[in-house]
Amino acid sequence: MAIDRYQLANELATLRDLAAERWSEDPLPVGRAALDRLKREIDEHDLHRNVAELETDGYTVLPPGKAGPLSLIEEIKAAMRRLQETRPSDALGASSGLGATLFHMLPEDPAFEQALMAPAPLVLVTYLLGYRAKLSQCTGLIKDTGAPALPIHADHSGKFPAPWGKLSNYTVVTWVLTDYTRENGALCVWPGSHRWGRPVPAEMRMAHDHEEMRVVEVPAGSVIAWHGSLWHGAVPRSADGERMTLVLPHVRDPIQAQEHFWASTTPEMIARNPPRFATLMGLTSAYGWMQDGPDPRRLAMGPTEGSQFE
């Protein structure tokens, strides 16, 4: 059965019209205005230390309660458990080091929208990727006892040719849903490695015990964000029970998102979220037209080359 391209273009145009209406309530800034608004938001959410850590270490941690209430953590976990019962979650196989994977969870429960729109992590996304950042994945990871180490890698690998420039083009926001400890199979990072702008060499991929690697031991409810060039992985899980994580990678506007969020966004989702939600879904991006061609309104919503924060 072929997709009806005229119907698809019409449905997409309807969603984009709604996105444009919401945009007009709070147009995303360009140039100096982008920098000024970002500074205000960093002040408002008291994120100066986190922004400094993104520069020096390439990652930062928001403590429990800063990104969202602990009740939201419980809602996210419950939604993931429901999905795990109804969906295959072994697409990548147990040996991948990612555990059971639940892809494209966003349209399945409003708790994921709340995590995506949580103001403090979103300021960190803006700092790394600009106001026009799009969501690239909404993925759940569930690791049980015996889950192997996740090899050390940088998220820019396999996406952008190296050497990488200093800007992040892909940034992960990770919601830690169960305590991260070494035994629980926590994330591990090589602080400062994002400044090298190069992939992890093959001989370092299993160097989880290297003296420069830091195991990120943080309690449930923490949120971790990192630069796309940061070398990171996860240590194996030896403890009983499960490690649960919500992973929200984002990309800069002209970069292809990994999941088709425009295809699963509903008018209700656009209506119940702040205007920026539609931008995160890719619905205000200039590109991705069909036979209707480029829309001058969406071209006008793009950056002006004035600032990396646009």
Ligand X SMILES: O=C(O)CCC(=O)C(=O)O
Q: How many residues bind ligand X (CB under 6 A)?
A: 10
- Which tokens belong to 50? 């986190």
Contacts of 49 (CB under 8 A, 6+ apart): 60
Nearer to ligand X by Cβ, of 23 and 226: the residue is 226
CB of 176 to ligand X, least distance (A): 9
* 187 is a contact residue toward ligand X (CB under 6 A): yes
Measured in degrees and rounded to the nearest 5, phi and psi for residue 285 equal -70, 150
CB of 20 to ligand X, least distance (A): 32
* 234 is a contact residue toward ligand X (CB under 6 A): yes
What is the per-residue binding string for ligand X in 83-122, x denoting contact by CB under 6 A? ---------------x------------------------
Q: Where does residue 186 rank: exposed (0-12), middle (13-18), buried (19+ CB within 10 A)?
A: buried
Where do runs of H (alpha helix) occur along the chain?
A: 5-25, 31-44, 48-56, 70-86, 110-117, 119-129, 261-264, 267-272, 276-280, 296-300
From residue 57, how far is each of 64, 150, 189, 239, 261 by CA, in Å? 20, 20, 9, 28, 31
Of the candidate residues 42, 247, 278, 301, the single one contacting ligand X (CB under 6 A) = 247
What is the per-residue binding string for ligand X in 116-155, x denoting contact by CB under 6 A? -------------------------x--------x----x
* 245 is a contact residue toward ligand X (CB under 6 A): yes
Q: Which residue has the closest beta carbon to ligand X?
A: 234
* 259 is a contact residue toward ligand X (CB under 6 A): no
